[in-house]
Amino acid sequence: MKKYLIAACLLVASVATQAQMRVNLGENSPLNKLRIAEMAITNLYVDTLSEDKLVEDAIRGMLEKLDPHSSYTTAKETKALTEPLTGSFEGVGIQFNMSKDTLLIIQPVVNGPSEKVGILAGDRILTVNDTTIAGVKMSREEIMKRLRGPKGTKVKLGIMRRGVNDMLYFIVKRDKIPVKTLDAAYMIRPQVGYVRIGSFGATTYDEFMTAVSTLQQQGMRKLILDLQDNGGGYLQAAVRIANEFLQRNDLIVYTQGRNAQRQEFRAQGNGKLKDVEVVVLVNEFSASAAEIVTGAIQDQDRGQVVGRRSFGKGLVQRPIEFKDGSMMRLTIAHYYTPAGRCIQKPYTKGEGQDYALELDQRYKHGELYSADSIHFSDSLKCYTLRKHRTVYGGGGIMPDIFVPLDTTQYTNFHRKLSAHGLIINANLNYIDQQRRVLKKKYSTFATFNKNFEVPTSLIDSLIEEGRKQKITPKDDTELQQALPSLRLQLKALIARDLWDMSEYYQVMNENNHTVQRAISLLQ
């Protein structure tokens, strides 16, 4: 343990040597004081305790007094956090949801291990290696732990299939399963492409360029780049995507910190989208790498930004890995847009609670509903690099065109049904019973999207289930107001389960005010 503690300090010191700093290891040094305290607690404290946990708590305690994004994660937590960004994990390759304590397969991954052995959408997994997982209230995490495993290992799955009386058994050989970071890519209007990026991971650029190539073959001349709810990810992925839109030597972003010299990231001039008109969509949950792309396009006057002010996460973390697989992410610099705006919103060191509630404060102050509620100091004023338009720093990216949050779109009744999982469950039950009929009737998504209407019986069963759980509309007016959005969401969920997420967004985007505003701009 002491070796890990010293190794961590030496690693931090090696970073600091770039600024010609030294760690004082003398008898009166803070490091020596920390070492003595750890040794005393370990050897003299009245109760037995874990030395590993003691050191982990000490690291967390130090980081909690810093900025909101410096953090420590255990080996297990580190793996869970990095998996979605690294582009793959090892498992059986299924998309699933839990329906009445039973794992229901939504879709097997195309060409994945489960599809190769004949597992189908709609199958229920009842046993894993002869251990029952259905009807025993096993946690989702525990089920995933049993399904995942090293590439090449085998797992025996016991499956019930609609129309088959006996249990079916499949031996699945685990493999690497790709993790997609693109949620959707399709032609939303003639000549207008739409791409939604969920996060910026190791495979995002390749996914993006594959989608772009397909859309250009379909006649794309303009692009809506949807970064709403995108929490960020890898800096390099954001830089590579921004590069596709910019001219040679255009500044994309730069980083600078107390002991980190200014580092600039510039466009190479080899992008395939330099002549494509672009609109970027953001909201209050767009952060970090999403803000880098948005800031670059806005500051270089390359395209318009539509939506609401982004989150404001502009701190650069350097990962410091420990031998046991745990990791410390230490903030070493700030991100700055090409115009010199600091993306990071204000914070007080050690006050993580207030920082976490900042979005609630935006809501209370009315910022999500009116651009007039947002006030910037003149000291934060900057200018775009080509047209010299006024933009502001000091926290997030303010869009060129503000689209307020529409609280009338979803009633309180709808929100309660959603919060209790009743809409998802109603969809799962319906798709489980009607999958074959729907697939036969709607051979393509285009025919489904044009002709399918959510049956009244599905709406009635959803409302009845809500009534059983004491979730009811306050009056008939609220019910009638909720019905269109309920039908739209259910149709989108059914489309997702029959095809994929791209089809889900094709349905939902027709009622998304931010997306529709972008379409009107490009048309």
Mean pLDDT of all residues in 372-390: 85
Where in the sequence numbering do the catalytic residues fall? Answer: 288, 299, 313
Quick one: pLDDT at residue 219?
97
pLDDT for the residue 88: 65
Residue 62 one-letter amino acid: M
pLDDT value for 22: 47
The answer on pLDDT for 302 being more than 50 is yes
Spatial distance between the Cα atoms of 132 and 72, rounded to a whole number of angstroms: 35
Q: Which range is least confidently modeled, 119-123, 374-378, 381-385?
A: 374-378
Per DSSP, the residues of 181-248 read -EEEEEEEETTEEEEEE--B-TTHHHHHHHHHHHHHHTT--EEEEE-TT---B-HHHHHHHHHTTS-T
Mean pLDDT (whole number) for 425-446: 92
pLDDT in the model for residue 8: 38
d(CA 125, CA 110): 18
Q: What's the pLDDT score for residue 26? A: 63
pLDDT single digits (tens) 225-262: 999 999 999 999 999 999 999 999 999 999 999 888 99
Max avg pLDDT among 24-28, 105-109, 315-319, 443-447: 443-447
Q: Summarize pLDDT for 341-364 with one digit per residue, the tens.
A: 999 988 888 777 777 788 888 888
The letter for the amino acid at 259 is N
Residues 6+ apart with CB under 8 A from 178: 87, 88, 109, 203
What mean pLDDT do residues 207-225 have? 98
pLDDT at res. 12: 39
Quote the pLDDT of residue 443: 94
Average pLDDT, the chain: 88
Model pLDDT, residue 9: 41
Q: How confident is the model at residue 412 (pLDDT cuts 50, 70, 90)?
A: very high
Higher-pLDDT residue of 418 and 81 is 418
Work out the pLDDT band at 478, boundaries 50, 70, 90.
very high
Q: What average pLDDT does range 210-229 have in this prediction?
A: 98
Tokens of 126: 């009842």
Q: Do residues 438 and 494 make contact, with C-beta atoms less than 8 angstroms apart?
A: yes
Tell me how many degrees the CA angle 92-491-421 measures, rounded to the nearest 5.
Answer: 65
Using alpha carbons only, how large is the chain's radius of gyration in Å?
26
The reported pLDDT for the residue numbered 24 is 54
| Cα end-to-end span (Å), the chain | 62
133-167 per-position pLDDT tens digit: 988 888 888 888 899 889 999 999 999 988 888 89
Of 507, 490, 346, 358, which Cα lies nearest the Cα of 427?
490
The encoded tokens of residue 159 equal 């499956």
Report the C-alpha gap between 231 and 291 in whole angstroms: 9
The predicted structure's pLDDT at residue 371: 76
Provide the whole-model pTM: 0.83
User: DSSP assignment, residue 267?
Assistant: -
pLDDT at 305: 98
pLDDT in tens, 73-104: 998 888 877 776 676 678 898 888 887 778 88
